[in-house]
Amino acid sequence: MTLNSRSFRLAKSGDSLALARRDGPTPKPGLRQVLMRLGAASLNYRDLLTLQDPNSNGDGLIPLSDGAGTVVAVGTEVTRWKEGDRVSPNFFPDWRGGAFSLAYLARALGGGQTDGVLSDYIVADEASLVEVAAHLTLAEAATLPCAGVTAWHTLFERGALQPGETVLVQGTGGVALFGLQLAHAHGARVIVTSSSDAKLDRARALGAWQTINYRTTPDWEKLAMDYTDGKGVDHILELGGPETYDRSIAAVAAGGSIAQIGVLTGFALRPDIRPLQFRNASIHGICVGSVEHFERLNRFVATHRIRPVIDEHFAFDEAPAAYEHLKAAGHFGKLVVDFV
């Protein structure tokens, strides 16, 4: 196959990295691999951290973990997929199911050691792919592998979310809005925090039960306790980091759980976790999920006809602008790069 493949790669630029457009030959699938043409990719906060990391070893790496596309060729021993199938690669290609292993980290797509999906064509192991839900566009499906699976893993795999329980999500980025959509579809009550009243209005339109502007109500944990009649929140998606963690601990219900996911306000996490002991509450460390998690998420998304929230689309050559938009942190939902 001699098709030309566009890609962006990380390239050293002084003390940091930048995106550099590269074109080259289309890769060829191995015996149990699939060649897919990407239709779209989406960005996560992790991608911004990778680009900005002065100690990154990602020079030459194809970035981004999240994409969706169409199978155009398969290896001779592939049995699960055929030409024309719409598929998406898992964030951790080697984590098919079962318990997590630290060995999976090195092969995470687009994170420093393994090429990602910001390329017209990629090859992937057949067992690392999941089928795109029929009602989704490729752009919508491209938002799921990291943010969607993270929210699913948090609420359903580790949290065992039940209808009627309360969930609090911080902000209106990808993980937060997937948490809102999934929990609402399951019959849970969701509290959303944001510094923007306009974004909170949009969150209510998606099914938020209560909203809190943390600029005007900095002690938002007290209001969360009021909303839950003093019981506290059953499930908290902790996305902020140092500036929000103590408040999450103060807001969690007895027997509830905090999902450690994000570091939007930095990495210096030193919360006082003693109150968790007397509430019999838990902290769950969440790092995306397995192929099986992704498959179960897709079935849920298909059953409930959930459509991911996309803030803005960018053409392929506008990928650097998508990074800048992500850095500005004004988005509501996901940012997507369209390949065609």
C-alpha Rg value of the chain to the nearest Å: 20
Length of the chain: 340
Q: Could you tell me the CATH number of the domain that includes residue 92?
A: 3.90.180.10
Residue 292: inside a domain? no
Residue 291: inside a domain? no
CA–CA dist 10, 12 (Å, integer): 7
Residue 177: inside a domain? yes
Q: What pTM value is reported for the model? A: 0.94
Same domain, 127 and 170: no
Same domain, 249 and 314: no
Q: Which of 118, 105, 71 is nearest to 287 (CA)?
A: 105
Q: What is the pLDDT of residue 112?
A: 74
Same domain, 85 and 201: no
CA–CA dist 252, 321 (Å, integer): 38
Residue 231: inside a domain? yes
Q: What is the pLDDT of residue 263?
A: 67
Residue 107: inside a domain? yes
Residue 274: inside a domain? yes
Same domain, 115 and 207: no
Q: Could you tell me the CATH number of the domain that includes residue 228?
A: 3.40.50.720
CA–CA dist 52, 17 (Å, integer): 6
Residue 93: inside a domain? yes
Q: How many domains does the chain have?
A: 2
Same domain, 174 and 206: yes
Are the C-beta atoms of residues 127 and 77 closer than 8 Å to each other?
no
- Domain with 252, as residue range(s), is 148-285
Residue 293: inside a domain? no
The mean pLDDT values, 10 residues at a time, for the chain of 340 residues are 81 85 95 98 93 76 97 98 98 97 95 92 98 98 98 97 98 96 98 97 98 97 98 95 88 96 66 87 95 98 98 97 95 96
Q: Which of 326, 325, 288, 312 is nearest to 128 (CA)?
A: 288
